[in-house]
Amino acid sequence: MASRSGAATIAEVAARAGVSPATVSRVMNGRFVGEPSVAERVRQAAADLDYSPNHLARSLALGETKAIAFLVPDLANPAFQAVLSSLSKTAAKDGYRVLVVDSGESTSDEPLLAAEARRRCDALVLCAPRMPEDELVEASVALSPVVVINRRSSRVSAPTLSVDYQSGIQGLARHLHGLGHRHLVFLEGPEGSVSNQARLRGLEEFERSAPDVRIDRIRGGAGSEDGLLATERVIATGATAALAFNDLVAVGLIGGLVEHGVVVPDDISVTGFDDIPFARYISPPLTTASVPHEELGVQAWQRMRSLVRHETPDHDLLFQPRLEPRRSSAPPR
């Protein structure tokens, strides 16, 4: 019997079998290539604990719905809208619809919302950049078939499509350094965000390679209002350039700077991240790290199509952001 009330978890099966949760995940998904005795031990542990990774799929009494769910933290973000648009158009070519679930940036609600969405669909594309890793591993098995986008984990056996935020932020920092900036400020993203942690690692690595640079950090979020609210703190640092967590934060910051009579880029340069559609049309056009969100949607469906057809999906992908220098960044005065 399971060690707690309710359904057994992947962690309990792993502990009973003496393996990692990732190994359990691979066995249950048919992607384990190790010793047959290990796979049999996992299956026996799962049987002993009455563990059923596909219990939601079996609850679909009417069979295939020809729909997949797409869970996102904030559909108001144009970056996620671009992924959704591309995913929907690509899936439609194979006769599938995409149903959207917006968690409203509530990490605690994501597991329940993901399970509820999966109950109504054949599969799930999961974009949960702040979901705790243990819960992500659990969801990727329990809600299978799943494709995970916008993050990667060695513990997740489901196909993953992610962005190299670490190298992307370094490219922006090097761009500003090359313009002559030595005092930067980074407007952080949401606490617990995997992509924010990657950005922080990238900036720490950049600082080690450029000892003449100082980078201040300001806690924030992922929306334009977070950039606006950080304006006075940014000005107070005296930095000559600001790196925003994403384009929305950068847009909010630029708006706040204008209200305070601070000219971009004459007084301070500002960069974003994502290259959302209107980043090039604001004044001044935003220097940013471009992420191919449309391609993320296409690749997500290609892997999902393989899963629903019980075929082997393509390799995981890590997208490299491309620096897009525009007029929001310039040499310091």
Q: What is the pLDDT of residues 205-237, one digit of tens each?
A: 999 999 999 999 999 999 999 999 999 999 999
User: Is 328 part of a structural domain of the chain?
Assistant: no
Please list, residue by residue across 258-270, b when 16 or more beta carbons sit within 10 angstroms of its beta carbon and e when fewer do.
eeeebebbeebbb
- Provide the mean pLDDT of the chain: 91
Measured distance CA(140)–CA(121) in Å, rounded? 15
205 and 153 in one domain?
no
Whether the pLDDT of residue 167 is over 80: the answer is yes
The Cα angle at residue 169 between residues 166 and 173, in degrees rounded to 5: 135
Q: How many domains does the chain have?
A: 3
Measured distance CA(32)–CA(255) in Å, rounded? 52
Whether the pLDDT of residue 60 is over 70: the answer is no
Tell me, what amino acid is at 272?
Answer: G
The CATH number given to whatever domain includes residue 257 is 3.40.50.2300
User: Is 331 part of a structural domain of the chain?
Assistant: no
186 and 279 in one domain?
yes
232 and 139 in one domain?
no
Evaluate the omega torsion of the peptide bond into residue 325 and state whether it is cis, within 30 degrees of 0. Answer: no
210 and 136 in one domain?
no
Say which range, 32-41, 77-86, 302-311, has the weakest mean pLDDT.
32-41
212 and 134 in one domain?
no
User: Is 3 part of a structural domain of the chain?
Assistant: no
145 and 174 in one domain?
no
64 and 16 in one domain?
no
Range of the domain at 311: 56-161+294-320
285 and 172 in one domain?
yes
24 or 70: which carries more pLDDT confidence?
70
285 and 224 in one domain?
yes
User: Is 144 part of a structural domain of the chain?
Assistant: yes
Measured distance CA(44)–CA(289) in Å, rounded? 48
Per-residue model confidence (pLDDT) at position 210: 96
Q: What is the DSSP letter of 274?
A: B
Total number of residues shown for the chain: 333
User: Is 309 part of a structural domain of the chain?
Assistant: yes
Whether the pLDDT of residue 5 is over 80: the answer is no
pTM to 2 decimal places: 0.81
228 and 276 in one domain?
yes
Tell me, what amino acid is at 291?
Answer: V
90 and 173 in one domain?
no
HSE (side-chain half, CA atoms, 13 Å) at 118: 26
User: Is 326 part of a structural domain of the chain?
Assistant: no
275 and 206 in one domain?
yes
Tell me, what amino acid is at 258?
Answer: V
User: Is 330 part of a structural domain of the chain?
Assistant: no
